């Protein structure tokens, strides 16, 4: 991930500030650059724009897990699992369920 990619996401958001997908992609780019608080804000915005965006919950859970915010990560993974189940995305649901189990055992 490069800062050029980040600039592309910034432009996409400027063109369409209600594009949840652009926020999650920019959040992932920021996370890869170690800009974790900014990444969390982008994931939050993606969820605000689309409360059924399971990938946003999963990505935010991944980052919160990395930041040792275990309980909050579990909540995000559980929400992602519920949404994936509703959407019929079985393998994604299983990933989120496994993350909940893994964090719950720590």
| CATH number reported for the structural domain that contains residue 60 in this entry | 1.25.40
Is 47 in the same domain as 57?
no
Question: Could you tell me the CA-to-CA distances from 4 to 7, 30, 39, 51 in Å, in that order?
Answer: 5, 12, 16, 29
pLDDT tens track for 51-101: 999 999 999 999 999 999 999 999 999 999 999 999 999 999 999 999 999
Q: pLDDT at position 5, please? A: 84
Residues in contact with 55: Cβ distance below 8 Å, sequence separation at least 6, in sequence order: 24, 80, 92
Is 30 in the same domain as 14?
yes
Q: Determine the structural domain holding residue 3 and report its residue range.
A: 1-51
Q: Which burial class, exposed, middle or buried, applies to 82 when counting CB atoms under 10 A from its CB (0-12, 13-18, 19+)? A: middle
Is 59 in the same domain as 106?
yes
| Other residues' Cβ atoms within 10 Å of the Cβ of residue 90 | 10
**pTM (whole model) above 0.95:** no
Please state, in angstroms and rounded to a whole number, the distance separating the CA atoms of residues 81 and 58.
8
Q: pLDDT at position 73, please? A: 98
Q: pLDDT at position 3, please? A: 66
Is 43 in the same domain as 72?
no
* Residues 28 and 22 sit within 8 Å (Cβ to Cβ): no
Domain boundary among 51, 73, 91: 51
Is 64 in the same domain as 33?
no
Is 37 in the same domain as 74?
no
Mean pLDDT calculated for residue range 31-55: 97
């Amino acid at each position: 991930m490069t800062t050029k990619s980040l600039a592309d996401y910034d432009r996409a958001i400027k063109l369409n500030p209600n594009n949840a997908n652009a926020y999650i992609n920019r959040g992932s780019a920021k996370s890869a650059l170690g800009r974790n608080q900014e990444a969390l804000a982008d994931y939050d915005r993606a969820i605000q724009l689309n409360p059924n965006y399971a990938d946003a919950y999963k990505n935010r859970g991944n980052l919160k897990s990395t930041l040792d915010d275990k309980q909050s990560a579990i909540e995000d993974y559980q929400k992602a699992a519920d949404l994936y189940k509703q959407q019929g995305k079985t393998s994604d649901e299983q990933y989120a369920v496994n993350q909940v189990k893994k964090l719950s055992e720590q």
